[in-house]
Amino acid sequence: MVPLRKLATFLILGMLVFPCLLGRAKVRSTAAQNSVPHAKSLFVQSAVQILEHEFKESGVSYLLFDARTEDLLSSRWEDAARPIPLGSLVKPFTALAYAEANEFQYPKHVCKGEESGCWQVHPHGELDIVSAIAVSCNSYFRALAEKLSGEKLSPTTRRFGLEAPDLGISGPGLMGLGDGWLISPLHMAHAYLELYRRRDQPGVRELLAGMARSAQQGTGAGVGRALRHTDALVKTGTALCTHLHSAPADGFVVALVPADQPEILLMIRVHGVAGAKASVTAGRMLSRMEE
Ligand SMILES: [Zn+2]
């Protein structure tokens, strides 16, 4: 039989030591993640410091996630949980809802520019889903979303943890125009991590290929041009500004870096610019992390 005094000492020691061990295990697992033996993991190590020390511009909000653990590493985004319009960031999810209803066949479409309702004056020409995501063509997505409704989208939004659009909205409201579909920026960032996690599922590969092309030559080229040693998956968006000192629009960027097995997800909002311009700011941030 263990003497009572000995048992008490044992318990007290256990209470003291156990949390220490837990704390240490946590530190050790973080260190283990950080020392993954390839150079790219430097992103995770330096990203937080660089963002917090070098990017203090008042018009820029950001969320930085570890793409593997989905942990939020750093943020400067007032009210990141509050649903706001996020513009074309919704397009991959709208596309996936379409694909699921259409045997995973994405349409082809000829964009005639402004004449067919695109944001770009000049025609994008003939597009498949990969190029439509890359250039974020509104004409393509008007056609794709034509027969979709808020109700039809809800299984997809549920699966990706996004706020559902108003049930009554259809067409353009479902490709990110207007303010009928408000989404929390935190939820949107997680939805893109989920999209990558489902990369082998039907209909998803094309969307990620579109995001890779966006960084190379589409609306996300500001990121692709800035990165020297790696590639990125990018989606941009332009939406109604929700700042107190309102501008015509805010630009949004989601970037997963590197494109092949992302280590970080950076989501930013730049006050008063379009998404393509915001991608230049995201590129500046990411290129510093890459050094
Ligand atoms: Zn177009």
pLDDT digits (tens, 9 = 90+) for 58-69: 799 999 999 999
Tell me how far apart the alpha carbons of residues 270 and 230 are, in angstroms, rounded to a whole number.
23
CA of 84 to the centre of ligand 1 (A): 24
Closest CA to 224 of 253, 64, 232: 232
Q: What is the pLDDT of residues 74-115, one digit of tens each?
A: 999 999 999 999 999 999 999 999 999 999 999 999 999 999
Give this prediction's pTM: 0.84
What pLDDT, on the 0 to 100 scale, is given for residue 186? 98
CB 35 within 8 A of CB 64: no
Beta strands at 264-271 and 60-66: parallel, antiparallel or unpaired:
antiparallel
Lowest mean pLDDT among 7-11, 203-207, 261-265: 7-11
| CA atoms 124, 127, 131, 134: torsion sign | positive
Bridge partners (DSSP) listed for residue 35: none
Euclidean distance between CA atoms 179 and 81, whole angstroms: 16
Distance 286 CA to ligand 1 centre (A): 28
CA–centroid distance, residue 217 to ligand 1 (Å): 14
Beta-carbon neighbours within 5 Å of ion ligand 1: 111, 118, 124, 137, 139
| pLDDT > 90 in the chain, percent | 70
More reliable by pLDDT, 213 or 58: 213
- Given this model, what pLDDT does residue 244 score? 80
